Amino acid sequence: MSLLALGAVFGVLGLYLLWRGGGAIRDAYRIGTGSSLSGGAAPTTGPVDLEGTAHPVAGSDPVTTPVSNEPSLLWESRLQRYRATRNYGRPDSQWETVDTDAQGRPFVVDCGSVRAEVDPETATLSLGEWQTETTKRGSVEPSTSDSDLPLAMISTELWLLKLADDTGSEDELEETAETETETDPSSPNRPTSIDIEHRLRVQERRLEPGDPVYVYGGRIESRSTEWGAETNVTVGGDDESRYLITSGDASTAAWSRLRRGIAFASLGCLSLILAVLLWALAW
């Protein structure tokens, strides 16, 4: 690929990241300066803005979290692999996400005089801090029945199969640590030891009944005019990038979106700078 073409790729990527970052920063500004839904004044157009307390819909069953086995309204989970290496004396380690999953059912946001039923199916979730269960080569298994878990988290054996597929080597997963011998490129005759360790962890975060919750974006799908109805409005959405459910209040949601926007915008700027440098070299 020529430098001009490579620069064009980074240029398009940079513009896309700036667009995503700008949208997130704009959402953060709107959340921080807006007012949450109150009274009966549910908007007919524009993004929904809800801040209140989460409760289950009457008669609905909770979902069970995969790690703590606790009932909740929503949960997110992720399976991560930790690969620690020492390459020519320099440590190099990181957690890599292998699989993710989420589950939830419609729930009620009590904003005081307004109670809204929220459908989380297409929403982007941000449910606070991740809680971790760490296992070294499958010594700890999830605490719920297999049917409640995403496929890659059903059992330790399936975890290992999933990682074997990703690494391309099942033998590499037989031990928690192994030593490989390679040749130092700067000294071809001097072998260098590289220690490799694999660990797994499954993390979850959840929204429980009674937790504060903030909902932004989406749309009012229906309104109830029935006297004594449990909820006044029903909220849903199609565009997950603009339909957000965050545990906490509006300031928590605004800060979360701002950090996301800054990260995307920064990567976009770096990509554009690299594109300009490549074009300069090509000319």
Nearest-angstrom CA–CA distance, 47 and 220: 9
Length of the chain: 283
Taking alpha carbons only, the member of 63, 47, 98 closest to residue 244 is 47
What is the structure's pLDDT at 84? 67
What is the structure's pLDDT at 254? Answer: 81
What confidence score (pLDDT) does residue 111 get? 82
pTM above 0.75, yes or no: no
The phi, psi pair for 18, rounded to 5°, reads -65, -40
Q: Is the dihedral of CA 17, 21, 23, 24 positive or negative?
A: positive
Q: What is the pLDDT of residue 60?
A: 83
For position 14, what pLDDT does the model report?
A: 92
Give residue 20's pLDDT: 87
> What pLDDT does 51 receive?
85
CB 77 within 8 A of CB 125: no
| Binned average pLDDT, 10 residues per bin, the chain of 283 residues | 84 92 83 57 62 87 84 89 65 79 89 82 84 58 40 44 45 36 44 55 88 83 65 70 78 81 92 90 80
CB 139 within 8 A of CB 175: no
d(CA 68, CA 237): 29
pLDDT at site 146:
38
Cβ count within 10 A of residue 2 = 9
Amino acid identity at 49: D
